Structure 1
Amino acid sequence: MKKTTIAEVASAAGVSKATVSRFLNGNYGKMSSATQEKIRQTVQRLNYRPNKQAQMLKTNRSGLIGFIVADMGNLYSSKLLSGASAVARENDYQLVIMESNNSLSSEEDALKKFVDQSVEGVLIQPISEDSSRYESVGKRCPMVLVDRQTTPKTWPAVIVDNALSTKYLAEYIVKKGYSKIAIFTESLTTDVRRKRYAGMRAVAKEHSLESELVEVGNLQLSSTYSDMKDRINELVSEDEKVAIFASNSQTLLMVLRVLDDLRIKIPDEVGVSGYDDWNWAFLAQPAITSIEQNASDIGAEAMRMLLTDIDPLKESISETKVIPSKINIRESI
């Protein structure tokens, strides 16, 4: 099938090629609204698709936004991408997605590839907390951090209220008469995990409750499941009213598997709560009390912030925006 040319669009619309080119590049200038509408309808009728590479050479714009997520298999990442992608499409940008797989070397490689592709901006779930690791890219194009922050705070970021929401949940656990909180989490190597742990621990300390940190290993390994099984068995056998808090959805699922395997009743023998609610926690029996973060909103807001930084007519943003979480109180506590 023969591809429609810009000359054919110009002829059909009764304008010059230069006018069509200006329209396609968003340079309307003194172009009347009637002319704009005529070209727009002609482009749609002829199904004309401009040559992106040629446009990039003329405008020095690629129309590409790079997004590096830490773990593509995580539902949280999928929702981040969904929110960001929707805003990108609304503004005629294309999202280029890469995964760091929680590896600094993979992250560095992805950033280099973004530079090679001349992306106009970068969204990233940073692996490192050291801002200097991202300076080379941050100086080339606008960048917004998603879900995590680096030190010192150099770039705008969109995060959730990890510590505050966890404190609210801990207060509820205290109110329900528990004497001990066991905090199950993957290794405290990220700021997000540390804040969730700190929120629980601070409230427990304030109310003179015992709190225990249980750092779990690789959730894919059978040994991790076995270790969790042993520890949960010990917790339930203690002469205390214990509540378990799982710091993310994967850990929460593992906790529930162990409890089911051990035939431990929730909440009669142990209370259970978690962070992340991907529309399944209410289906458990009993339904699980959890903190819900709107990852789609986080991704969308991060993209809006980035596009504001990209726009030369708008003032650059250097702020941190916190997206509030929601606590879903259910029967498990």
Structure 2
Amino acid sequence: MPVTISDIARQAGVSKSTVSRYLNRRYECMSAATREKIGEVIAAADYRPNALARSLKQKRTHTIAAVVANILNPFSTSMIRGIEDFCQQAGFNLILCNADDQPDKEKSYLEMLLAKQVDGLIINTAGQNKAMLQQIAAHIPVVLVDRRVPELSCDSVTLDNRKGVAMLVDHLVGLGRRDIALFTLPFDTVSPRLDRVTGYKAALERHGIPFRAELLLETDTSQVSVQAKLAKLLASGPRPDAVFGFNNLMTMAIIKAVRALKLSIPDDIAVIGFDDWEWASLLEPPVTVVDQPAYDMGSKAATLLIARIQGKRISKRPVVAVFEPKLIIRSSCGERAD
């Protein structure tokens, strides 16, 4: 006969409800001795809770989902780790979906996750499935991470992107760089991209530098695309004295393209980027970046989501958590070593 929760309660000398609280990691008002005794009995009996029965009874699966735009992006990897670590501590399982920044793929995942009856959703949305996300948010908690969607009444975790871009432009201008090219992903629907482009234009204006449309280059993050755009830019007029990468993948592609074009960093052209990554400090020259705390952003998103799931006291209005960027100065823009 399989071991039941009643068996565990009887052997541990406690009630079934106490064992249930232990299994759900609700340790408040439970002594350390009681927790230790229940744990010993469960280990000795090799007891495994029936997850399906528990979810049917509680109307919860203790599972949340995270949909990210690009799992290969180091920002996404670090953010996911922040989500997963908090979920593990809180007793929730995590389903991870990589949408590749493709609305159709994202929609397919959202349909699957609804069928799985997840308790909540964290999403780094491509921005084109708003109606579906509105329907989902009406039934389960949803937290947007690295995104703002005004039409959705749900919590969000973002960075002050305009401030981050201003830091980069200020740094470049302080070094005498004024012809600053920005390589960006398509920015018509996704809030961080819009914010960074808006911040770029505003920062130039603040320094009295006219915005030049030819220095705003929209592309993907492949070296082939970036190199083609950069080569065309260099051949078409005055050479930019600095190139700014929208994210770490874009910055890496820019560095490869600059080297393929036989240009020197920073003598021929400065390179600066948004997001730090593991190799940025090890390249020659090391790359100056604005970093965003991806792990902390992921952890905060999971904290908000699970608080909503558990019905804890939290504002009825959507919570907007905005993190601060950090400028990390290295030497890819011609900075002097201290």
State the TM-score, normalizing by the size of structure 2. 0.87
Say if 2:297 and 2:323, in contact at 8 Å, map to a contact too.
Answer: yes
Alignment CA distance shift 1:229-1:29 (3 Å): closer
Separation in structure 2 between the aligned mates of residue 174 and residue 28 of structure 1, nearest angstrom: 55
**Who is 2:79 aligned against?**
80
**Who is 2:162 aligned against?**
163
Shift of 1:133: 3.6
Say if 2:223 and 2:256, in contact at 8 Å, map to a contact too.
Answer: no
Shift of 1:225: 2.8
Alignment CA distance shift 1:207-1:23 (3 Å): closer
User: In angstroms, what is the RMSD of aligned CA positions?
Assistant: 2.6
Separation in structure 1 between the aligned mates of residue 75 and residue 28 of structure 2, nearest angstrom: 43
**Who is 1:62 aligned against?**
61
Equivalent positions of 1:297-308 (< 5 A) are: 297-308=296-307
Give unmatched runs, 5+ long, in structure 2. 334-338
Separation in structure 2 between the aligned mates of residue 259 and residue 233 of structure 1, nearest angstrom: 14
**Who is 2:273 aligned against?**
274
Q: List per-residue Cα deviations over 1:212-267 (Å, max 9, x = no partner).
A: 433243344735533323324556xx3x7722111111221121112212221222
Alignment CA distance shift 1:44-1:325 (3 Å): farther
Deviates more, 1:307-316 or 1:216-225: 216-225
Say if 1:244 and 1:271, in contact at 8 Å, map to a contact too.
Answer: yes
Equivalent positions of 1:1-333 (< 5 A) are: 4-15=3-14, 20-21=19-20, 23-25=22-24, 34-128=33-127, 131-152=130-151, 154-189=153-188, 190-212=190-212, 213-220=215-222, 222=224, 224-232=226-234, 234=236, 238=238, 242-316=241-315, 318-333=318-333
Say if 1:309 and 1:316, in contact at 8 Å, map to a contact too.
Answer: no
Separation in structure 1 between the aligned mates of residue 113 and residue 269 of structure 2, nearest angstrom: 48
Deviates more, 1:90-99 or 1:202-211: 202-211
Deviates more, 1:191-200 or 1:224-233: 224-233
Deviates more, 1:40-49 or 1:68-77: 40-49
Q: List per-residue Cα deviations over 1:55-110 (Å, max 9, x = no partner).
A: 11222221001111111222221111100000000000001111222222222222
Give unmatched runs, 5+ long, in structure 1. none
> Number of matched residues?
329
Alignment CA distance shift 1:139-1:266 (3 Å): same
Give the counterpart letter for 1:214 in structure 2: L
Say if 2:84 and 2:94, in contact at 8 Å, map to a contact too.
Answer: yes
Say if 1:247 and 1:274, in contact at 8 Å, map to a contact too.
Answer: yes
Percentage of pairs with the same residue: 29
